[in-house]
Amino acid sequence: MVMKVWWCFSFAFISTVFIGTTVYGGNVTYDGRSLIIDGQHKILFSGSIHYPRSTPQMWPNLIAKAKEGGLDVIQTYVFWNLHEPQQGQYDFRGMRNIVRFIKEIQAQGLYVTLRIGPYIESECTYGGLPLWLHDIPGIVFRSDNEQFKFHMQKFSAKIVNLMKSANLFASQGGPIILSQIENEYGNVEGAFHEKGLSYIRWAAQMAVGLQTGVPWVMCKQDNAPDPVINTCNGMQCGKTFKGPNSPNKPSLWTENWTSFYQVFGEVPYIRSAEDIAYNVALFIAKRGSYVNYYMYHGGTNFDRIASAFVITAYYDEAPLDEYGLVREPKWGHLKELHAAIKSCSNSILHGTQTSFSLGTQQNAYVFKRSSIECAAFLENTEDQSVTIQFQNIPYQLPPNSISILPDCKNVAFNTAKVRIQNARAMKSQLQFNSAETWKVYKEAIPSFGDTSLRANTLLDQISTTKDTSDYLWYTFRLYDNSPNAQSILSAYSHGHVLHAFVNGNLNSGAYLERRVAGLRSLKVQGRDFTNQAWGYQIGLLGEKLQIYTASGSSKVQWESFQSSTKPLTWYKTTFDAPVGNDPVVLNLGSMGKGYTWINGQGIGRYWVSFHTPQGTPSQKWYHIPRSLLKSTGNLLVLLEEETGNPLGITLDTVYITSQ
């Protein structure tokens, strides 16, 4: 008996005041009250939009909707793994064109916060670090380690110099008013002991030494060294933030989570517009001056960008959904909140603050600048409505809400009162239900003799594939001359899914685990085969030949579709783009687990067979940006790892309905 083990996984280890039509930067400083831009204190509302999670053609509309929603700033991470996938080889094209993205923001009159990291987390592969770092001898990530610090400084300087060459820092007249170094390091600092503290001091010094001319921040870093500003991440920074670690630093909130990222097997996390608005109002009432929504537009995890188990739709419940459509009530409710706060920003920024109780669970936060300039935030933390007296006037406060009085008399906004609702719907435009339109290619199952990479032990998947593929074949030979032998295969893996093929036939199902490292041990009838001769093949033949592209598709022999298919089957067809401008999606509800390409562009991983506790897929619609489509003859290719039915796939469009 010759036994071949194939293992695949899908992931690796584990940012109403009109400003004008164009931002002209200048001197950006800060004090204990707020950021100061060109000598003016600012209350700023910001939103995270990540350039590689949308297309350049989508950027103008996303930024315009953010501005219309009352934002002053767009915040983005910098994705090191996308910009330097191979050491010394940089890529700033297409969706990676960060300079073009920032210039578009500038053209629409908004500022930018640039979160360089370089470690960013962001639910992306390897936390945004390029995999080649793993092979640097002696390297210890995110520590006072000379090898890591060398490469971190080199990339940070690369990005800063790129921004400088395009005159994008505010000190050069550009829109970038803040930069971030590291990311939520306070979560792990203790694990590095003294190396953690010395590293964070070095990181701050290194960043300041890059001389951007704008302030630096560190989020979730209570001990951020001067002059770097420590900032808050979370959902309730008005309650949880310990505050700046110096009286000379402002209170900034870099991540106000508008929902939460979703993983396969789970349902979306729904955070209400009322709760978001309440916590923003409370943060401002407690002298906060900068709030960033993470995410304002989440977008799509194209290609293989997503980290372990994270679905393709990223923060779809944000004010702008995955496709860039407005989600109500979040978008409109927050727009009204921003306008109410901006209408009294002078009083908030320059007035004297007092706070006092209005009842057992009611509080007032009052900013008074003069006898006629006054703003108030009236808070009710009870689960029921109450009527309170403020300045001898009765006010009814809904449960768990804050009322904003820009003149200390009239309520302009209450966080619990939403006025607009909408809903999203899908409309089928095309059914791929004709077998004649599909072609099939069955991935070759390699044998031990086919492999050239050999080792007498089980290799780590990440170190072996170098992140060039989600898939790694483990093959070995087992000879058993018993005529009626029945062997039991026992495999221990830290991967998503393991499939075992015996003599070319599938011999197992999927096994779901929580981490990624590869096949760790294997036994047959109790005999341990962990440390014996193994043959390895990185990736699939279809990947190597790029059969998901127009040119690569001709390199293999495609067959007619049959009703009965096997795992590891490629499917291809062509289609015309639907008319109109509505977003386009693939409904993959009939498929199992795999990967999708449109005209050679990876749309992302799908895992429809992994159901929620309610028995439904976590995601079945997959975004195809309009800019990736031609009017006719679009090439759709899917790699199905299990046994999905492509005849059930539909091409849909997305639209908003009133509710």
H/E element, 537: strand 534-538
Distances from the Cα of 125 to the Cαs of 115, 130, 536, in angstroms?
Answer: 17, 9, 23
Candidates 548, 618, 576; CA nearest to 303 is 548
Q: Side chain identity at 62, as an amino acid letter?
A: L
Rounded Cα distance between 434 and 77, Å, is 43
Q: Which residues are annotated as catalytic?
A: 184, 255
**Bridge partners of 365?**
355, 377
Burial of 122 (0-12, 13-18, 19+ CB in 10 A): buried
Distance CA 304, CA 301 (A): 7
Distance CA 39, CA 238 (A): 26
Q: How far is CA 5 from the centre of its chain?
A: 33
Separation of alpha carbons 120 and 129, rounded Å? 8
**Separation between Cα atoms, residue 249 and residue 36, nearest integer Å:** 11
Is the separation of the CB atoms in 101 and 76 below 8 Å? yes
Residue 542, CA atoms < 13 Å, CB-side half-sphere: 29
3-class secondary structure, 523: strand
CA angle, residues 283, 284, 287, in degrees to nearest 5: 95
Residue with tokens 């060294």: 225
Q: How far is CA 75 from the centre of its chain?
A: 13
Phi, psi at 194, each rounded to 5°: -70, -25
Of 655, 615, 524, nearest to 265 (Cα)? Answer: 615
